[in-house]
Chain A
């Protein structure tokens, strides 16, 4: 059977990808961030799964006000890096895993998670920056990818509890896949940041630290947060962290924390990364 081996949470700030694409990672502004990512990359090098489910959001790239689903599964053979207004990132094509993607989708819908299905989807920085975080700059991404796109921009976003339950249902679906596959799951976005409005630039390290602590030892606490808790405490765009709940829901009750890194700032965002291994 297929098995989820580990989860990662990581911010997906576009500036991080741009710094890599433009060869700026050695600059003083970026150096501490990329230094902190070295253990992330070392772990990923030794733990490449056959398939990675990347829970991310689209930023007015492939979806917008005319049609935005709450949860969308990418079932295509491949996904192109998108032009989001400044030309596509020069990163490898993202290869899908349609068999597992469809298996999960069918299981989820039959278990009352009504997923939208995308057979053609250009993926923006929300998905490609986490790949760059984990794997640096390879010629080919070493894992196949199932994009799971979540609406985190248009209110009301799915509740933090719904996201967690979706993760639990994904785990059951993966474990019912007959082929022997190792599967990773990443929750992306966050951590605290607010990009718009008079309050732009607000960060909240206390909130972020508590969120990561809960992720490890009390994930239910992160499901009790409300939309307004995120907007108020983590900034309007900090609500992206609900996607980390999907990742956590797909892991075992007890997890081993392998690595954690937190750095301020990346652009206007608090950067966070955490790797959690399943214990069963």
Chain B
């Protein structure tokens, strides 16, 4: 099976073709540097993404406060993470780094606050 990717390691954006057989990577072609090779292998074995969104803030000057995952989470779990975050809430006041959800979906990433709100 062949899979096509665009490398995002630098602005060049090389089109990469990866050949996979039974979950094993046979070849990576199209990349112009070794960063492209690493990107393609990571992307096909364990694609992860940083997740940023907002969480409901109770008693804050604003109704929501921005949050991020403390490290990238598996790409296919993004929507499950969103569901949990949208069900959660936090009480003001909050500051950058406060943890809203610890170890979300067992990914090892915490959902942490990324702005300060001292409340009303």
A binds B: no
Chain A residues with a Cβ under 8 A of chain B? none
Chain B residues packing against A (C-beta within 8 Å): none
